[in-house]
Amino acid sequence: MQNRLFTFLVLMAGIFMRAQDCPAPVFPANGATNVPLDATIDWESVDGVPSYNITLGTTPGGDDILSTQFASGSSYVPPLGLPADTTIYVTITLFFFDKPNITCPSYSFTTEPLTTVPNCTQITNPLNNATDINPNTNISWSYVYAATGYNISLGTTPGGTDLLNNFDVGNTLTYNPTTDLPPETTIYVTVVPYNSLGTAMGCSYQQFTTRAESEIPDCTNIIYPLNGESNVPLSPNLEWFAVPDATGYIVTIGTSPTGTDILDGATFYTNSTPVVNFEPNKTFFITIVPFNDAGQAEGCTQTSFTTLLGCGPYLDFDTGEYVIINPDIDFPDSFSSCQNDGPLVISSTDIAEGFRWYQIDQFDDETLISSTSEVTITENGQYRYEAYNTISQNGNTIECPSSQIFEVVSSEMATIENIIAQPTVSSLRLSVIASGIGSYEYAIDNIDGPYSDSNVFNNVEPGSHTIYVRDKNGCGIAQKEFTQDLTVEGFPKFFTPNGDTINDYWQFIQPKGSEKVILQSIRIFDRYGKFLKEISQNSQGWDGNMAGRRLPSGEYWFLAIDNSNREIKGHFTLKR
């Protein structure tokens, strides 16, 4: 039974795999002949395919001409050209990151025969007449049409062969000298292509000059994520082994083996870097190349890793927007239950697929108390609110939560114990004394506020006022009427400077039956605090004039200082 089930699954997998269309060849066409040896192989692009592999061989599915290589887009240029007069089979593989690859049936074409010897080539690295070249450099050159191999000579004189004499490197475009080249020396390089009809004629040398001996750094190995690792977080900290003689590291990351869409040769001077906002459930390819003044490490291998299923943020390539699956929540960090009002009922207004409420005990253990958008709380303490959405990714359903820890405390309406008034030159300063277990704010003369956290009111006009104390947690507003007459004993409440000799002057009168008050000075101000007149206790008093000008009727203020430096403040009325 198990073998039958396995066979069935394999068949179904094969049917699924072939549900994806394979691309049709564009050039060369299937069955084409006399195809140029430097042909670019093109095929149709297939929707939904992130990348392609290509293999070339002399048999269907064979790789004796070209082993499996990643193609950039839907075309491939064989770097060494194609063999002449050969039937070549092309095998395209659809490469996927999140499901099995699909290998398409091979198709074939036949190349043209050789008719001539190849032309000469040009060295591409180092460039002709280049200076300051590392003595351990590789030497590279361009592909030449119809070449099947190359001979290379190296010398310290023009056309010389004292370092390497007509060495056959085969059908390759690079040569790595077995030993370092002489430092601070001009090196002459001659590369001669050949094929079965003969060698290129009249190829001239190119030259470059080496610098002083130095060592390029070795490659490094990645520490995290390891090659092939899966379930890597969406914002990992990439880390690799430090190379002692490296100045820095060139890091390239792409979503395909040839891609650079995440990091394109970024330079780092430490052996780690954080990377944010990787896409979930996707494979990434990373190459790290150490470098120093001598050059870059050579032959560093590429590694790959796959991220975990995630809630975001990640880039939606269809819209260009970053997607976050977690719900947005707007939730306070504290609630108050008013005493004697019964249980506290809290309802969430956030938009989410599901909700949970937890009570947190003194040991930070959590107990689930509700799985709806509403919770009833009967005691003070610490709680956690959680809202979540779900997402299905590759057959798995995961939750993406957002949460907020909050406190529940008791509160109550305030009791106004006292209102303390302190006269100033032209107004009152009121201090409100309130008691209760709540958190309170204060307003004067308007129940709707504005309210302030301060219990002090400055520049208050004398007279009747209403003080309001509001519980910030909604447990009520206390209020109290208050009247303050600022007239101080011994100082008249008014005077009438009209020339009738009755009450024409305002002056302090020693109260009868009380301890004698000795004043150092008496200063008079208008209602705006402007100083008008200073009189002494023994003078006739103030006649309501200033610099010979009669002042209008209204409220005036005084500030008296006694012989103990105590301030006595108040106000009086001038009537005409």
Where residue 420 sits, what CATH number does that domain have?
A: 2.60.40
Domain final residue, candidates 210, 236, 262 = 210
Q: Is the pLDDT of residue 6 over 60?
A: no
Does residue 258 register a pLDDT over 60?
Answer: yes
In this predicted structure, the answer to whether residue 340 has a pLDDT above a threshold of 80 is no
Q: Which domain holds residue 552?
A: 494-574
Q: Assess whether 431 and 521 both reside in one domain.
A: no
Question: Does residue 314 lie in a domain region?
Answer: yes
Instruction: Kindly tell me if the per-residue pLDDT of 479 is higher than 70.
Output: yes
The answer to whether residues 27 and 102 belong to one domain is yes
Helix (H, G, I), strand (E, B) or coil at 380: coil
β-pair partners for 252: 287
Q: Same structural domain for residues 456 and 502?
A: no
Q: How confident is the model at residue 548 (pLDDT cuts 50, 70, 90)?
A: confident
Averaged over 302-316, what is the pLDDT?
Answer: 72
Q: Of 411, 434, 455, which closes a domain?
A: 411
Contact 499, 531 (CB under 8 A): no
Position 513 scores a pLDDT of: 65
Q: What is the pLDDT of residue 435?
A: 92
Q: Read off the pLDDT of each residue in 330-343 and give the average, rounded to a whole number.
A: 85
Residue 397 and residue 350 share a domain: yes
Q: Evaluate whether residue 12 is within a structural domain.
A: no
Residue 13's pLDDT is what?
36
Please tell me which residue, 46 or 120, carries the higher pLDDT value: 120
Query: How many whole angstroms separate alpha carbon 111 and alpha carbon 406?
Result: 75
Q: What is the CATH number of the domain that holds 105?
A: 2.60.40.10
Is 90 among the domain residues? yes
Q: Which two tokens stand for residue 122?
A: 């040009």
Tokens of 406: 């909050």
Counting the structural domains of the chain, the total is 6
- Asked if pLDDT for residue 321 goes beyond 80, the answer is no
Bridge partners, residue 151, by sequence: 168, 192
pLDDT tens digit sequence for 26-41: 999 999 999 999 999 9
pLDDT tier at 568, thresholds 50, 70, 90: confident
In this predicted structure, what is the pLDDT of residue 32? 95
The pLDDT-based confidence of 320 (bands split at 50, 70, 90) is low
pLDDT value at position 312?
66
CB 207 within 8 A of CB 186: yes
Computed over its alpha carbons, how large is the radius of gyration of the chain? 46
Query: Average pLDDT over the chain, rounded to whole?
Result: 86
Per residue in 118-134, pLDDT (tens digit) is 999 999 989 999 998 87
Q: Would residue 4 count as lying in a domain? A: no
Q: Give the residue, 52 or 452, on which the prediction is more confident.
A: 452
Could you give the count of Cα atoms lying within 13 Å of 327 in the half-sphere of its Cβ? 22
Is residue 462 reached through a cis peptide bond, with omega within 30 degrees of 0 on the bond before it? no
Tens-place pLDDT, residues 413-459? 999 999 987 765 556 789 999 999 888 999 999 999 899 999 999 98
Asked which of 6-15, 286-295, 334-343 is least confident by mean pLDDT, the reply is: 6-15
Residue 217, in any domain of the structure:
no
Q: Is the pLDDT of residue 398 over 90?
A: no
Of the pLDDT bands very low, low, confident and very high (cuts 50, 70, 90), residue 322 is low
Q: What is the pLDDT of residue 469?
A: 96
pLDDT, mean of residues 345-350: 94
Question: CA-to-CA distance for 480 and 293, rounded, in angstroms?
Answer: 82
Residue 250 belongs to a domain: yes
One-letter amino acid for residue 160 of the chain: G
User: Same domain, yes or no, for 341 and 400?
Assistant: yes
The pLDDT assigned to 243 comes to 87
Residues 433 and 347 occupy one common structural domain: no
pLDDT score, position 552: 93
Same domain for 30 and 101, yes or no, is yes
Q: Of 484, 512, 530, which residue constitutes the final position of a domain?
A: 484
559 assigned to some structural domain = yes
Residues 536 and 464 in one domain: no
User: Do both 386 and 430 map to the same domain?
Assistant: no
Judge if 390 and 465 occupy the same domain: no
Indicate if 343 and 393 belong to the same structural domain: yes
Q: Is residue 544 part of a domain?
A: yes
| Same-domain check for residues 406 and 420 | no
Per-residue pLDDT, averaged over 313-331, amounts to 72
Average the pLDDT over 469-498 and give the result: 82
- Sheet of 354-360, strands arranged across: 334-338, 396-411, 381-393, 354-360, 366-370
Please check the confidence at residue 5 and state whether its pLDDT lies above 90. Answer: no
Instruction: Reply yes or no on whether the pLDDT at 55 is more than 50.
Output: yes
Average pLDDT over residues 170-175: 94
pLDDT at 209 over 90: yes
- 488's CB contacts (< 8 A; 6+ apart) are 568, 569, 570
